[in-house]
A = this chain, B = another copy of it.
Amino acid sequence: MSGTMDGTKRQRRGDTRQRIQDVALELFAEQGYEKTSLREIAECLDVTKAALYYHFKTKEEILVSIFDDLTQPILDLIEWGRRQPHTLETKQEIVRRYSETLAGAAPLFRFMQENQATVRELRVGETFKERMQGLREIIIDPHADLVDQVRCVSAIFTLHAGMFFLQELEADPEKKRAAILEVATDLVTQAHHNA
């Protein structure tokens, strides 16, 4: 994932590039993209700002690299989805897998969710939109009733929202994830049955 040139010994003490990504994502998610300065990131890592520029061309590129690394699973999921028959089981599986992807990169998705205005003017914004469009295509039947199309989109956003908005609901996190997944699955199931 990190050292792309030779796969042998590239992750010894001081894989700075990776550490930058980690800290940056943490801060981006916590405080937002704009409010997180390169100075802050550098200080967290105990390096100078200039060091960041050795590893990344711009602030935006740090974000892009994180995004690209962490959203690969979505790309895979979409590609997989496209090759499947449009059955109910497929859609349910997509929902399940997407739920897992979200859980696996929660900070990034939280970040994307909470910084939409910012991200919209960034390259990742456009890319993310495309990904979501791809997701919609494999889950929505374009000939279905409008209401059912909305159900599918709602399913996706329920998963999203579930990650962050539902933290106020106090309950066992695992049970919550299961409940969210159930509601989302329910929505695509209803949408499918009406067809």
Contacts and interface: CB of A to CB of B under 8 A. Distances in A.
Interface of A: 31-35, 111, 113-118, 120-121, 133, 136, 146-147, 149-151, 153-154, 157-158, 161-162, 165-166, 168-169, 171, 175-176, 179-180, 182-183, 187
Interface centre among A133, A169, A171 (most CB of B within 10 A): A169
Copies of the chain in the assembly = 4
Contacts of A180: 150
A171 B158 contact: no
A interface SS class: helix
B147 A31 contact: no
Given A116-B113, A153-B161, A133 B168 contact: yes
Contacts of A146: 169, 171, 175-176, 179
Contacts of A150: 158, 162, 166, 169, 176, 179-180, 182-183
Contacts of A153: 161-162, 165-166, 169
A36 B105 CA distance: 30
Given A154-B158, A154-B161, A161-B161, 4 more contacts: A33-B117, A150-B158, A153-B165, A153-B166
Given A114-B117, A116-B113, A154 B183 contact: yes
